[in-house]
Each structure stands twice: as structure tokens, then as C-alpha cells.
Chains A and B, each alone.
Chain A
Amino acid sequence: MASYSTSEFRSGLKLMIDGDPCAIVENEFVKPGKGQAFNRVKIRNLKTGRVIDRTYKSGESVEAADVIDTDMQYLYNDGEFWYFMDPASYEQIGADANAVSDALKWLKEQDMYTVTLWNGTPLTVTPPNFTVLKVVETDPGVRGDTSGGGGKPATLETGAVVRVPLFIDEGELLKVDTRTGEYVSRAKEEG
């Protein structure tokens, strides 16, 4: 089984901890000048989403988690599972509510997402950093306003609500940063 030493720790690294696949959220190397070195690590359990703290004596090794990221197309939701398809093999796979929770408000049929698989089961679904979505509901646009100063809420086709400049109208396409949930710009076409 592959393993990582503490000197290879970095955020995003996937490890097996207490039998569960986990990802390092934050790693800090700490060492008093004349003393023992440690790695203080925040770890997210990829099954439960819970974040825990661990301290490792430097030089320790931890088993790697056999986790792979795949790009898959979102198909539909049957009330219990969200189904994704591998565009190369056409193989379909169902992700549960826990796996899609962070991506839920950005999920749009036919779009591509990163599905993180552990032993073939979806652990997490991550939307692309930027996505283009249509405005389905917002107050009427105000002509001449280009500052975007105050802004107003707009509901997008996936159900996400973002703050947009006053000049945005219903039916327009917007580019949105899914990491911060912020409006980026108008978009000409879906991408």
C-alpha cells in the first residue's frame, strides 16, 4: 500500500485515517529550534465531512487513500441519488446526498463535474470553479447602472441565489465563481 511521509503532507492529499478516506485541509510544520518537529494537520473525513485535528511527529508515514478524481456528466436526480455518467465509457453511477451536498446548488443537467471516487463509490462532487447559469428570477434591471455597487439577489436556474449588479435582467446568462458563490460577469453563452 502506498503511503506518504509527513514531509509530503500538503492540502488536498488523500489519506486513510481510522479506516476512512480523508483529505488534508491544512498542514502546518511546527518546530522549536532545538526541539522535536511536528506536523499539525486539519483533516476532513471524506465520508462524513467532519474536520478533525491531528498532530503527527515529523517523519511518520500514513497510508494513502485510493481515491481518484474523474470528470463526469450530471444526468438526473431520482429523489434519492444523483446520477453521473463517465463520458468515455457511458457508465453511470449514483451519488448520495452527502456526496453532492457541497455541489447541490450548482448542479445542472448535462454539465461536467469532478466526482471523487473511493473504491468506486462517489465520495464528493465538486463543481468547476466557474460556471455559467441563467437568471430565472430577479428584480427588473436598472438601465445605466454599471457600477454594481449595491446589487440585488438573483435566483439562478439551479436554485443558487447570488448577489448581482442592478443592471442584470431575468433570462441573462451569468458567470459565477462556485467557490465563493459570487457573480463574476455577464456571459454570452453557456460554457
Chain B
Amino acid sequence: MSHVPRKRADTLSHDWRPSASLESISKRAALLQQVRAFFHAHRVMEVETPVLSAAGNTDININSFTVHYDGPHAPPDGQMYLHTSPEYAMKRLLAAGSGDIFQIARVFRNGEAGRRHNPEFTLLEWYRLGMDQHALMAEVEALLRVLMPGLGKTNRLSYRQAFIEHAGIDPLEVEQQALQACAERHGLGDIVGLDKDDHDAWLDLCMDQVVVPALGEGLVFIYDYPASQAALARLSEEDARVAERFECFINGVELANGFHELTDAREQRQRLLADNAHRRLTGRAELPVDEHFLSALQSGLPDCAGVAVGLDRLLMLMSGATAIDEVLAFAVDRA
């Protein structure tokens, strides 16, 4: 073996111990049961899809882990990817006629570690036929109220309202300079390495550091994200500047991201190719586009809405933990 062990074998280490308390580990078990019971009662079928995929996620702000596979059906270069979300595969099931489905999946995102991030985490993802973003927000709330009975009142506001109210700017109209001035006004200090023209990144920064902290306690849904941040959501028919995408926050912690799903295969392909073009421009590797997923859309995805909820973050909120390590048996530093 050529690699050097990280720790000397004779160093006494306590890192074999879980970073979560045993109480927190049993809370997770109870949470998983409650989630399954909720969907069983709502007649939503549990599914499993591959963690290992021949296609990557082209999303410009999400980095896949690559792994090497040799063996039957290996791609020519042997390169495969750990999924960053089960979204593509679940939509293939929907296109195949599965009906309403949910999945509790371990997902992987390279480079993400911090107080609320671990490079592998647990996503609850589900899809409902015939629902739009508002109907799905109601179902997310229903589930959260089962899991957190003490949850206070709900607030729902559009991305635009949230920015106007808490940052004093209209995010759909704001000029780049005024957006930067807003960041400065809110004490974000010097910002190093952020391209002056990367409008969406500046919006992300203001959203995360100015708007979200001002949302206050309790459950808040933000909907109608800017069209430039549509991801896999369809654009609004009433206002082309926004996409039918929502997020949910509890006590300022981002918890869920949902879409009224884009079903147009051509538009979806254009978005994936645009992602890859952006990757090329910023000197990063392009990723193979998931042709199975696009073919499924081509054959017809039923009108549906889908959402992903971070279960580790939910556990943090349920147990009053301030760091994700406290709810993971073994966070990345002990993995």
C-alpha cells in the first residue's frame, strides 16, 4: 500500500466513538418510522434507486463524487458517480407509471462540510402526481407538523416579497451594483473571489446571509424562485421571471427544496447543456448528461410536484442540535 495512514496506530484515539449521542441515534430511528407511516397512510409507495450512476449531476453548484468501477457494464473510462439526489431515477419511475413515490436516500455531495453540511447525508424525496408547488407545500407542512407537533404558525411568501421585506431590494429587477451595495449594507464585509457579474451567486449570498436570518422562528415557505435558479422546476405561466420552485425553512435552517416539475424534455436538455457550458467556462469538468432521464421525459412525465427534505437537518431542529455532527452516527471526520 502506498498511502500513509492518517493516524499512527499507537495513538490512542476516541474517534471510533459516534459523534451523535445514543439518544439522538434512537430519535433517528423513530423519525424514519414516522416518515414511513405518514407516506403509507397517504398511499405513497416507497422505492429505492441506484446510488451509483453512469451519469453525473451537471448542476453548477453541486459537485459529484466520482468512483471507479471495473466489471460488466462499466462505462468505457470506468468512471461512475454517486448520486447527489435520487431525482433523475425517481422521475424515470414516474414516467414508467409508478404513481406517487417516496424514497429515503443517502446522497453524496463533494466539498460540502460544515456546521450544517456533511458530504453524505439523508434526503427524503417524494413526488405527487397532479400537485403543483402550493399543494406540495401544504403536504410538506402536514408532514412537518406530524414530526414536530410544537411547530408554530406558518408563513408563506414569495422570493420577491421576502427580499423586498428583509433586504429592501426587488430581486427580480435589481441591478448588479445595487445588489452588491445591499450585501455591503448588511455587513457581509469584503467578498473575495466572487465575480462582479455572477448575479445569481450574489442573490444566493444575500438570501443566505440577509433574508433567511431575518425570517425568524417557525416554519417559512419561500416560493417562486428566480427563473435563473429554476433547476428542474417549470417556469411560471403568469410571470416568466420566476420558476415554480419553493424552499422551506425552520428557525432559519434550510430544510426542503421543491419543484412543480419541468416535464418538457427539450427544455430540460437545454438546461443540462447550459450547465455543462457554464462548467466549461469556469474550468471544471463537464459531466455526462443522463440520457435515461431525458428519454424518460421524452416518453412523458406525468404532471407532478416533487420535494427533497434534509432529514439530518430536521433531526437537528427536533433535538436542538447546533451542528450536524450531533445527529450523525459518524460525521465525515470519523468516517
Taking Cβ atoms with an 8 Å cutoff, the residues of A that contact B are 7, 28-38, 40, 52-60, 62
Docked Cα-Cα span, A55 to B204, in Å, equals: 13
Interface residues on B, range: 20 to 34
Contact A35–B207 (Cβ < 8 Å): yes
Q: Which residues of A contact B198 (CB under 8 A)?
A: 36
Q: Is the CB of B189 within 8 A of A35?
A: no
The one of B59, B192, B200, B254 in contact with A55, judged by C-beta atoms closer than 8 angstroms, is: B192
Specify which of A31, A56, A59 lies most central, judged by the most chain B CB atoms within 10 Å of its CB. A31
| A32 in contact with B111 (CB, 8 Å) | no
For the complex, give the distance between the alpha carbons of A35 and B254 in Å: 12
Are A58 and B111 neighbours in the complex by a CB distance under 8 Å? yes
Complex: chain B residue closest to A56, CB-CB: B192
26 CB-based A-B contacts, threshold 8 Å: A29-B112, A29-B113, A29-B115, A30-B114, A30-B209, A31-B61, A31-B112, A31-B117, A32-B208, A33-B254, A34-B59, A34-B61, A35-B61, A35-B204, A36-B61, A36-B198, A37-B111, A53-B188, A55-B192, A56-B191, A56-B192, A57-B191, A57-B192, A57-B201, A58-B111, A60-B193
Question: A-facing mask of B297-335, CB < 8 A → 1, else 0?
Answer: 000000000000010000000000000000000000000
Given contacts A54-B190, A59-B193, are A28 and B114 in contact (CB under 8 A)?
yes
Q: Which residues of A have CB within 8 Å of B191?
A: 54-57
Taking the complex as formed, is B205 at the interface, i.e. its CB lies under 8 A from any CB of chain A? Answer: yes
| A-B contacts at CB below 8 angstroms, number | 80
B62 within 8 A of A: yes
**Residues of chain B within 8 A of A36, CB atoms compared:** 61, 194, 198, 200-201, 204-205
Question: Is B276 an interface position by the 8 A CB rule?
Answer: no
Given A34-B257, A35-B229, A53-B187: A29 touches B192 (CB 8 Å cut-off): no
Contact check, B187 vs A32: say whether CB atoms are below 8 A apart. Answer: no
Q: Which residues of B contact A59 (CB under 8 A)?
A: 193
Which residues of the other chain, B, contact A33 by a CB distance below 8 angstroms?
Answer: 247, 254, 257, 310
B111 near A7 with CB under 8 A, answer yes
Could you say which of A7, A28, A40, A57 contacts B193, with CB atoms under 8 Å apart? Answer: A57
Residue in A7, A54, A55 whose Cβ sees the most chain B Cβ within 10 Å? A55
In Å, the complex CA distance between A59 and B62 comes to 13
Asked if A40 contacts B200 (CB within 8 A), the reply is no
Knowing A31-B112, A33-B257, A35-B207 are in contact, say whether A55-B61 is a contact too (CB < 8 A): no
Give residues 200-216 of B contacting A (CB, 8 Å). 200-201, 204-205, 207-209
